[in-house]
Structure 1
């Protein structure tokens, strides 16, 4: 639908610009929705213009739909990665069964839908799961996929919704910003915030009260009585910032605060530069992220999943679009630390 200037004065958040479609007598909303579900319209200029209005800005609220098992992973230290959505594009979905096609791990619907919500540190951390960024996603064979197929139009598969999809750029892990939330959607349309992330303590503070003990009990390994859950896994990506000529581990609290990571508030100085740091390499000629490693083996994630690359590497699909493999460290080429710089 087209949003006019008058509409934009009615409370739209500038950090969450609305999806806009120029509807006409010969182009109804139903036609746009059908175009978004057809591979024939992947290169259609009109559909691409509509998709381009779904912009991510610094501070845009992002959401990834999770299973209970994935929630447990994030409580243990997983970072945001893979398929995600702008929160404003799915905030009209309230009941758990409405999120079925947005799940990434292929699990069946349940009575509760979980989610991770955070604010984007920078638009360069996100891309559209379609050509030219990810040309191979649409051609992945069904036997090697988990979750819904990728249409390549930039929209998620749906019979009646128009929901723009995003992935983290190159399926990278993103350092989790301050005040990210783990939440649940329960029958009746209520949204329950379960935990919020506290970066200086590297853990999750429980917000859900006694009424929601049953929800917390559905998360594998989670105790309803724990008020604070520290992240125990080593992060594969982190933020670094500089003040003058010194480098510090940094924390993002978008849209406007980027600071030194420090326990005491007085030491949380704003950084002058900011970048995302992670390990990259080539394995069998394929660009990969190095998620973890020891002296012998490394866990790798494909940056651009394609059918021939999956065959060459033997990578396995762990969730929608995410392909990982283990490889001997001595087989890695061009193994290096990559710094992706942000413009503050």
Structure 2
């Protein structure tokens, strides 16, 4: 599969698939192509655009099209790279990603999928989770680089990454943001998150955790990440809530406005039918609650709540523009505690009770603490405040001037 060049008409590229040349357009900041065809074929879907010149379309990842090193260097994020050997092909690599005992063999390959400051991240949501984010939920749990899943556009393809099992007429929602720092993310390997790997089916939601650092899939190779210690991440500026329809259309539903702590409606009335019944589609924004986890920053030796807009804008949180001073230093603040010898993060306080999330859940902790799985990998329980020990606020300070990457230890190296 190769890019041939530019073509006349509304499409800006031509690509060759299985010996046939098709017109195509770049999508997802160049991470994928939308390929057009006048005839139906394997992988092609009806083109939903009224009066479209080509009645069928298909989505392919850019790495399946651009094969030269010069082409790969133009991507916003680095593609997953596999060392060239006679003993390993792409099918063999996929088999290893689905084999729990193969994590050691995959370490050199998994290490090439990195998060940096400004990397576009994405997490796929159910309708209930979409409503939760509109009402104030922060980001947490399993997520992916948007680059790695840019070609997965239909509910059928995205079913491997969401908790639902959509049909062709359903919709998958997602929250998409830019990473503030690589430190905020870990790779869910068996040696660090072994409790999730061995969790019995009756104690989990969604697909199992393999422990290789890749999502379970019968066809795709998708590197996965978790927020560090499964804790909550405050929502950065310009985060979007999007929907993917049955024909592969991406719809931006809302954009986050941090100064107002609100979501601004971006979709028109033609897309209101996509929203769950619990969400009023004609509202411009939803007031949101304030999570306990937050970003804080230092300005002239004083500490303020911070607004983050990666990769380069970090400022004091203020409603007036004149008071949005650029920060001298930035930290992520996470409320943490220990309950019955289990490390946890604190996600809510109600009177004398604390809502705790297990940082390293396993079957024993879940049974001993009576924790419940609220989504894939996230286990929570209410605890009496009097029983909780070592309650604290952990601040991790970032280096604002340097662009760093996940360390080898975080990726299994």
- Does the 8 Å contact 2:121/2:178 carry over to 1? yes
Partner of 1:174: 233
- Of 294, 316, 331, the residue aligned with 1:260 is 316
Choose which of 323, 330, 334 in structure 2 pairs with 1:274: 330
CA distance in 1 between partners of 2:326 and 2:209 (Å): 40
Alpha-carbon distance in structure 2 between the residues aligned to 1:133 and 1:199: 33
Residues of 2 paired with 1:4 and 1:164: CA distance?
A: 22
Q: 1:20 aligns with which of 68, 81, 90?
A: 81
Pick aligned residue for 2:395 from 332, 339, 342: 339
Question: 1: distance between equivalents of 2:251 and 2:337?
Answer: 40
> What are the superposed Cα offsets for residues 184-240 of structure 1, whole Å, 9 maximum, x if unpaired?
001221100000000000000000012212123x2x432121112221x23121111
Show the counterpart of 1:325: 381
- Partner residue of 1:311? 367
Measured in 2, the distance between the counterparts of 1:152 and 1:193 equals 32
Matched residue, 2:50: none
2:258 aligns with 199
Q: How much does 1:4 deviate?
A: 5.6
Matched, 1:40 2:68: no
The alpha-carbon deviation at position 170 of structure 1 amounts to: 0.5
Instruction: Point out where structure 2 has 5 or more consecutive residues left out of the alignment.
Output: 1-62, 401-413
Who is 1:108 aligned against? 165
Alignment map for 1:63-74 (pairs within 5 Å): 63-74=122-133
Q: Distance in 2 between matches of 1:133 and 1:61?
A: 24
- In 2, the alpha carbon distance for the partners of 1:108 and 1:28 equals 30
List aligned pairs for 1:1-344, cutoff 5 A.
5-9=69-73, 11-13=74-76, 16-44=77-105, 47-103=106-162, 106-110=163-167, 111-216=170-275, 218=276, 220-231=277-288, 233-344=289-400
* Whole-angstrom CA distance in 2 between matches of 1:4 and 1:275: 39
Asked if structure 2 preserves the Cα contact closer than 8 Å seen for 1:23 and 1:29, the reply is no
Q: How many residues align?
A: 334
- Whole-Å Cα distance in 2 between the matches of residues 62 and 8 of structure 1? 19
Q: What displacement does 1:338 show?
A: 1.2
TM-score (norm 1): 0.94
Q: Measure how far apart 1:307 and its partner are.
A: 1.6
Secondary structure of 2:94's partner? Answer: helix
Shift of residue 247, structure 1, vs aligned partner: 1.3
Cα distance in 2 for residues equivalent to 1:34 and 1:260: 47
List runs of 5+ in structure 1 lacking aligned partners.
Answer: none
TM-score when scaled to structure 2? 0.78
CA contact (8 A) 1:127 1:133 kept: no
Q: Take 1:209 and 1:40, find their aligned partners in 2: how far apart are those partners?
A: 48
CA distances 1:7-59 after superposition (whole Å, capped 9, x unpaired): 334x311xx21111123332110000011011231222xx1111110000000
Find the structure with the greater CA-based Rg: 2
RMSD: 1.5
Whole-angstrom distance in 2 between the partners of 1:188 and 1:317 = 32
Contact 2:304 2:316 survives alignment (8 Å): yes
